[in-house]
Amino acid sequence: MAEKTRIGVLVSGGGTNLQALLDAQGSVIKDGEIVVVISNKAGAYALERAAKSGVDACTVLKKDCGSQAAFETAIKAVLAEYKVDLIVLAGFLSILSAGFTNAYPKRIINVHPSLIPSFCGAGFYGLKVHEAALDYGVKVTGATVHFVNEVPDGGEIILQKAVAIRSTDTPESLQKRVMQQAEWKILPRAVQLVSNQIRKLKEE
């Protein structure tokens, strides 16, 4: 069997989705291993989560790089150093250019807190997604894990899970439930599915 798929996780904040992945290693995620965590925000709590799990982590700041292109080149350098096969965006709040996404076809996945194609695309992130769902009055929302291409939230869907909306929901309560009931469940499963596919390709 080929060596496990080497996973790099890109983060911007607290890292709750990263924690779900770290907790799933060896149980749900059998064919992949997180080898590096990259944050685009200094002091992000996700970096502490990585450290506690013994995973290498670093920070790449756009303002230090001077441009989007230089920022993406710096991230690519870290990914190359760690021989990353699969990139997971776990609450990464920086839009990546087509030049970046095209360099890793079917090798970048993202979790989005709605049932794509609803409440997605440019400008839909974090609480804004849940505010939009409540404002619209939908009865069901959820989360989607998808491949990343040059269109925000536009790549092929890998997994989805629905979550019922309650009449008492606030954006905050809905966000928490979508994370617990959908995001933290399907992101590790999707990572395992893609890791398994990549591992099989390595054997050919």
Residues annotated as catalytic are 112
80 CB burial (10 A radius; 0-12, 13-18, 19+): exposed
* Closest C-alpha among 106, 123, 101, 105 to residue 114: 123
Rounded to whole angstroms, how far apart are CA atoms 26 and 22? 9
| Angle at alpha carbon of residue 16, lines to 10 and 21, rounded to 5° | 70
* Closest C-alpha among 1, 2, 21 to residue 10: 21
Rounded to whole angstroms, how far apart are CA atoms 162 and 149? 23
Backbone phi, then psi, for 143, in 5-degree steps? -140, 155
List for the chain the helix, strand, coil content (%; round to 5).
40, 25, 35
